[in-house]
A and B are shown apart, each in its own frame.
Chain A
Amino acid sequence: MIVYLVRRAGQSVLAVVAMAVLVFLGVYAIGNPVDVLINPEATQAQIAATTQRLGLDKPLWQQFGIFLGNAIHGDLGTSFVYGRPALDIILERLPATMELAVVALILSVGLGVPLGVWAGLRPHGLAGKTIMGGSILGFSLPNFWQGMLLILVFAVLLGWLPAGGRGQTTEFMGLEVSFLTLDGLSHLILPAINLALFKMSLIIRLARANTREVCLQDYVKFARAKGLSGRRVVMVHVLKNIMIPVVTIIGLELGSMVAFAIVTETVFAWPGMGKLLIDSINLLDRPVIVAYLMLTVLIIVTINFLVDVIYSLLDPRIRLSEMKG
């Protein structure tokens, strides 16, 4: 187990370093890093001072060492726009994004699994076909377009829900959250549905395929033959067995939720870190861009690592085959 953990942790560190190299090369090697990292309104003296502080006069490989060293200490530069450390600004926006991602995840599992099982039990019925058709649209149509339709229908035409923003927030366990107030909740619904639709479609397809497979197994036939109610067969025998692949995909997709939130937050003007990224790109606030990218990479790599470790605890075959290979 320790061998596996070390191996897998090594891979994760490698992934983070690889992305750091990519970001570093993008900022430092393409174009002039002085233009990229120093406020265009800075004076000559400030430029000289920052150039020296960041070590931009040193060879490239030494610069990379300094960049990594600073990054490990949490120093990813100072925002041009806000005049504060870039990492702080992003961490302030993190709870909003996480709230959105978690609510979306709950929605996509809570609706995706029942719909998928239903479609799997009656694959040729009208409902099953409708669910499958909907799921194809759900993952093939661009996310921002689905969000726009939601706004057009529910905010502009019907006027039921607000079109954007976060609404009123309250303190909950030290974090600002919006799901506890009616106003906050009404702002949360549309973006959460928007973010959930893609994952929900994936989960529906997965649950349906697995349900169809499980239904053919002998233990399901036997349970039916025993005279158990259809409800019990589905709830106990089928559901339990389809949850293994579903749980896997949930873990793996959690990281990509953070990335997909960029689009949803932009469409709904949700004040999370994804919207911050797009705003920073438009304002050329590059330290914030760099900090966002490094933090997101770190989050995704960490989640992938945890999922793999948990999964290998649940299923010893994986860590055995990994150790050999």
Chain B
Amino acid sequence: MTNSIASDLEPVGTPGPVRIDSPVRRVAKEFVEDPVAVVGLVLFVLIALIAILAPWLAPQNPYDLAQLDIMDGGLPPGEVSFGTGDTYWLGTDQQGRDMVSAIIYGLRISLVVATMSLGIAITIGTVVGVTAAYFGGKLDSFIMRIVDLQLSFPAILVALILLALLGRGVDKVILALVIVQWAYYARTVRSSAIVERRKDYIDAARCLALSNRRIMFRHLLPNCVPPLIVVATVQIAQAIALEATLSFLGVGVPITEPSLGLLIANGYDYLLSGRYWISLFPGIALVLTIIAINLVGDRLRDVLNPRLST
């Protein structure tokens, strides 16, 4: 997506909708040509809607203890409640919690953690990456040293270190995910920005004596967006998986706000005794979410960067 010629001709400082509109439409058009990716997108939108509308969709509030009936504990899928006569389509856990509701709420927590950490990490990574590429020199090599140092350690280890020291909590998991992920964005943005900054339109903007900040964020950054989108889709799936893993290991979200990973961990103890549904169904929800995002991400990578497609 190098439209440097077009941007040269544009009046400086107005990244008008005309220029942005047509690539978006092209990407959308190419995206829908792959039916598998469309299925992935529809699935993901559906999952996101379920998470957003959780309080209205879930049959019960799984964390309102008054709504739970201990008599219904450990019922297999399709059983009927002793008290209310409702059907538990996916069974109940040991406390008599409806698994459908638990999964819907768990999905909500998983997605909130992943998207919040994505937003913060992308902001930090973008600012750092553009700054490094634009100023270059010592600042650039210093920043990239830190990025390389961090990326030489497995993400799960870094996150575990942080959470082992900080303790459990939704905010702490988000912090750990941000610290793990910012470096990927910084590296991605920097590597495309360093190519872009040598182009004529940046020189032209400099000649107009625009401020550094304006050149960096209004001229340089918009041209680094496509690879950033690709990395972001891969990373959000990774973030969801990592959060689930951390919660499964018991260092992630607290018991009061169970994400899908924690639901799976809770049911894990009953897996061997044959009560598979307590951990299997949250697991399927988790896996569907990750696969849907990956399908979208795969197609976006092909569409946004023709060079990478095989």
> Real complex partners, A and B?
yes
Q: Which 8 residue pairs are nearest across A and B when measured between Cβ atoms?
A: A26-B165, A259-B154, A259-B157, A256-B154, A142-B241, A144-B248, A140-B294, A281-B164
Q: Looking at the complex, which of A15-23, A169-177, A220-228, A312-320 is the stretch in contact with chain B?
A: A15-23
Q: Which of B249, B264, B298 contacts A263 (CB 8 A)?
A: B249
Is B264 a contact of A140 with CB atoms below 8 Å? no
Q: Looking at the complex, which of A88-96, A180-188, A292-300 is the stretch in contact with chain B?
A: A292-300
Q: Which of A18, A19, A263, A300 contacts B245 (CB 8 A)?
A: A263
Is B279 a contact of A23 with CB atoms below 8 Å? no
Is A141 a contact of B152 with CB atoms below 8 Å? no
Is B157 a contact of A296 with CB atoms below 8 Å? yes
Q: Which of A22, A141, A260 contacts B156 (CB 8 A)?
A: A260
CB distance from B208 to the nearest CB of A (A): 33
Q: Is A304 close to B, CB under 8 A?
A: yes
Which A residues contact B (CB, under 8 angstroms)?
14-15, 18-19, 22-23, 26-27, 30, 123, 136-137, 140-145, 148-149, 151-152, 155-156, 163, 209, 212, 255-256, 259-260, 262-263, 266, 277-278, 281-282, 289, 293, 296-297, 300-301, 304
Size class of the B contact interface (CB-based, 8 Å): 35 or more
Q: Which residues of B from 266 to 298 have beta carbons under 8 Å from A?
A: 268, 271-272, 274, 276, 279-280, 283, 286-287, 290-291, 294, 298
CB distance from B114 to the nearest CB of A (A): 13
CB distance from B37 to the nearest CB of A (A): 13
CB distance from B150 to the nearest CB of A (A): 9
Q: Which residue of A lies closest to B267 (CB)?
A: A148
Q: Can you list, as one digit per residue, whether each of B26-38 has a CB less than 8 Å from chain A (1) or not (0)?
A: 0000000000000
Q: Which of B149, B165, B286, B287 contacts A18 (CB 8 A)?
A: B149
Is B160 a contact of A262 with CB atoms below 8 Å? yes
Cα-based distance from A15 to B268 in the complex (angstroms):
37
Q: Is B77 close to A, CB under 8 A?
A: no
Most chain A beta-carbon neighbours within 10 Å: one of B164, B166, B245, B276: B164
Q: Can you list, as one digit per residue, whether each of B219-242 has a CB less than 8 Å from chain A (1) or not (0)?
A: 000000000000000000100010
Cα-based distance from A151 to B166 in the complex (angstroms):
32
Cα-based distance from A140 to B290 in the complex (angstroms):
7
Extra inter-chain contacts (20) besides given A148-B283, A278-B251, A300-B154, CB under 8 Å: A15-B152, A18-B149, A19-B153, A26-B162, A140-B237, A142-B245, A142-B261, A143-B245, A144-B248, A145-B264, A149-B283, A151-B271, A156-B274, A255-B154, A262-B156, A281-B250, A281-B251, A282-B250, A293-B161, A300-B152
Q: Is B303 close to A, CB under 8 A?
A: no
Given A26-B165, A145-B283, A152 and B156 contact (CB-CB distance below 8 Å): no
Is B161 a contact of A22 with CB atoms below 8 Å? yes
Q: Is B253 close to A, CB under 8 A?
A: no
Given A145-B264, A300-B152, A30 and B166 contact (CB-CB distance below 8 Å): yes
Is A148 a contact of B152 with CB atoms below 8 Å? no
B99 cross-chain contacts in A, Cβ below 8 A: none
Q: Which residue of B lies closest to A140 (CB)?
A: B294
Given A18-B149, A263-B249, A277-B160, A140 and B154 contact (CB-CB distance below 8 Å): no
CB distance from B269 to the nearest CB of A (A): 12
Q: Is B244 close to A, CB under 8 A?
A: yes
Q: Which residue of B lies closest to A22 (CB)?
A: B161
Q: Which of B149, B165, B310 contacts A30 (CB 8 A)?
A: B165
A-B contact pairs, 6 of them (CB 8 A): A140-B294, A148-B279, A155-B272, A156-B272, A293-B164, A297-B153
Q: Which residue of A lies closest to B156 (CB)?
A: A259
Is A289 a contact of B156 with CB atoms below 8 Å? no
Cα-based distance from A88 to B283 in the complex (angstroms):
37
Given A152-B271, A260-B156, A297-B153, A141 and B287 contact (CB-CB distance below 8 Å): yes
Cα-based distance from A141 to B298 in the complex (angstroms):
15
Is A212 a contact of B152 with CB atoms below 8 Å? no
Cα-based distance from A262 to B156 in the complex (angstroms):
9
B283 cross-chain contacts in A, Cβ below 8 A: 145, 148-149
Q: Which residues of B from 4 to 36 have beta carbons under 8 Å from A?
A: none
Q: Which residue of A lies closest to B241 (CB)?
A: A142
Cα-based distance from A149 to B248 in the complex (angstroms):
15
Cα-based distance from A67 to B309 in the complex (angstroms):
50
Cα-based distance from A259 to B268 in the complex (angstroms):
22
Is B245 a contact of A140 with CB atoms below 8 Å? no
B166 cross-chain contacts in A, Cβ below 8 A: 26, 30
Is A152 a contact of B153 with CB atoms below 8 Å? no
Cα-based distance from A278 to B248 in the complex (angstroms):
11
A301 cross-chain contacts in B, Cβ below 8 A: 152
A163 cross-chain contacts in B, Cβ below 8 A: 272
CB distance from A214 to the nearest CB of B (A): 14
A142 cross-chain contacts in B, Cβ below 8 A: 241, 244-245, 248, 261, 286, 290
B160 cross-chain contacts in A, Cβ below 8 A: 259, 262, 277
Cα-based distance from A263 to B152 in the complex (angstroms):
19
Is B271 a contact of A148 with CB atoms below 8 Å? yes
B250 cross-chain contacts in A, Cβ below 8 A: 278, 281-282
B274 cross-chain contacts in A, Cβ below 8 A: 156
Q: Which residue of B lies closest to A157 (CB)?
A: B276
Q: Which of A145, A149, A256, A266 contacts B249 (CB 8 A)?
A: A266
CB distance from A162 to the nearest CB of B (A): 11
Is A212 a contact of B310 with CB atoms below 8 Å? yes
B241 cross-chain contacts in A, Cβ below 8 A: 140-142
Q: Which of A27, A145, A260, A278 contacts B154 (CB 8 A)?
A: A260
Q: Which of B149, B162, B245, B290 contacts A144 (CB 8 A)?
A: B245
CB distance from B26 to the nearest CB of A (A): 26
